[in-house]
Structure 1
Amino acid sequence: MSAYCLYLVTDDKQDINTLINVVNEAVSGGVTMVQVREKSGHIQSFIKRAKAVKNILKDTNVKLIINDRVDVALAIDADGVHLGQSDMPASIARKLIGANKLLGLSIENEQQLIEANSLPLDYIGLSAIFSTPTKTNIKKQWGIEGLKKAMQISHFPIVAIGGINQKNLTDIIQTGVDGVALVSAICHAKNPKKAASLLRLQIQEAQIN
């Protein structure tokens, strides 16, 4: 199973205690990677939250990815960083984090997808597969057919993100995509452990069929 298989992206609007609980539960339920997001720009808060998540992931095989901020990733020695299109250029980020850390990049249209093939990346996040309440400024909705096309173009593993839930998950996994990134389906679940566990099971069944 790919390390990108069930990729949890944290909700930066949840307080640190909720964050710790969600990540603890989600890891117990079978998430394979965790990305810590913090959009407020408050670096001390970001470091504190990222450190808390790092403590949870210690002695697990679950990788810790920091959203946007290379400095935070370096400060806490995270496993990698995920960049958006308006963040630091991938080539500079790679020089700073070194060859052994994971580097992901959000891709929002076909031009970016083609350009990404020449960048020193480990994976891409394809956004948005479907529209979602957390992303109101969507450039493109890829849908299932767009995802299939992107997989033919990209040289890198693809993590699908945006509007993914139990209803559409099987169709997405059956494209052969490397993973799915989820926020609300796990972060906002009454029981994040159960939600993660059911999603992981659904992924495994979809891969077999």
Structure 2
Amino acid sequence: MGGSRACALPPLLALTDPQRQPDPVKLVEMLPPGSAIIYRHFGHPDRLAIARATVAVASELGIPVLVSSDLDLAYGSAATGVHWPERMLPAAARARARGCRLLFSGSAHAPMTLLRAKQAGLDAVLVSTAFASASPSAGTAMGPQALAAWARRTPVPVYALGGINQKTVNRLTGLGISGVAAVGAIRNAEPTRT
């Protein structure tokens, strides 16, 4: 990507999704080296057991796991960190103020959120929507130049989210983007480890 900021997270973040990527353990097994996973449990009744299984396999492979929206679940599963949706950045700031040292990523859908991300002590911010995406939650695509402008506004490492594939990743080279976050781009990948 060519991000100029040091980042505690690897350049590829894979996000789980109940419909598009429902098996976090299988996803971990498909990830290439230099990846991390964000486990989005969406209130699943077995979320602790699934998170623990995901962390166990990921730990063997050297893949960090961040749990979405749930600090207690992150601690209970021995995850590496927490991913905070934009609306929950105040909770991230409170956790940092209490001394939490887990890795924190967060989502940003508006330029003002970048300031809040820094204040919340995030290690990385996922900016959406980078490219046109079929995701039901995707907004209007901003494109690589607007994304680069956002990245210049913050000292927090920026990850592109939305419409990520090999073609769009190539368009991010040299723009100061630290990495990419993806759901659908990984679901059809073949396992990289046996």
Distance 1:56 1:95 in 2: 31
The residue type equivalent to 1:142 in the other structure is M
Identity of aligned residues (%): 25
Give the number of the structure whose residues are more often helix, by fraction: 1
- Quote the Cα distance in structure 2 between the aligned partners of 1:116 and 1:100: 16
Paired residue secondary structure (2:14): strand
Alpha-carbon distance in structure 2 between the residues aligned to 1:58 and 1:160? 25
Unmatched segments (≥5 aa) in structure 1: 195-209
Distance change in 2, residues 1:125/1:76 (3 Å): same
Does the Cα contact within 8 Å between 1:4 and 1:33 map onto a contact in 2?
yes
Aligned match of 1:78: 79
CA distance in 2 between counterparts of 1:190 and 1:113 reads 32
Q: Is the 8 A contact 1:94 1:103 kept in 2?
A: no
Q: Once the 2 structures are TM-superposed, how far is the Cα of residue 166 of structure 1 from its aligned partner? A: 1.3
Name which structure has the greater RCO, CA cutoff 8 Å, separation 6+: 2
* Structure 2 match to 1:91: 93
Gap change, CA 1:151 and 1:14, over 3 Å in 2 = closer
Q: 1:173 to 1:38 in 2, by over 3 A?
A: farther
Q: Which residue is equivalent to 2:156?
A: 156
CA RMSD of superposed structures (Å): 2.4
Q: 1:59 to 1:193 in 2, by over 3 A?
A: closer
What residue number does 1:20 align with? 25
**Given that residues 186 and 192 in structure 1 are in contact (C-alpha distance below 8 angstroms), is that contact kept between their aligned partners in structure 2?**
no
TM-score, normalised via structure 2 length: 0.84
Offset, 1:6: 1.3
**What corresponds to 1:11 in structure 2?**
17
Q: Give 4+ residue runs of structure 1 displaced > 3 Å after superposition.
A: none
Deviations 1:61-103 (A, max 9, x none): 321101111221121121100111223622123246x442111
| Partner secondary structure for residue 160 of structure 2 | strand
How far 1:46 moved relative to its partner? 1.5
Contact 2:152 2:176 in 1 (8 A): no
- Alpha-carbon separation, structure 1, partners of 2:25 and 2:106: 25
* CA distance in structure 1 between the aligned counterparts of 2:147 and 2:130, rounded to whole angstroms: 7
TM-score, structure 1 length as denominator? 0.78
SS at match of 2:192: helix
Asked if 1:30 is matched to 2:36, the reply is: no
Q: Residue in 2 aligned with 1:204? A: none
In structure 1, how many angstroms separate the alpha carbons of the residues matched to 2:60 and 2:133?
33
Aligned pairs (5 A) from 1:179-194: 179-187=179-187, 189=188, 191-193=190-192
SS in 1 for 2:65: strand
Whether 1:144 and 2:144 are equivalent positions in the alignment is yes
Equivalent-residue separation in structure 1 for 2:126 and 2:95 (angstroms): 16
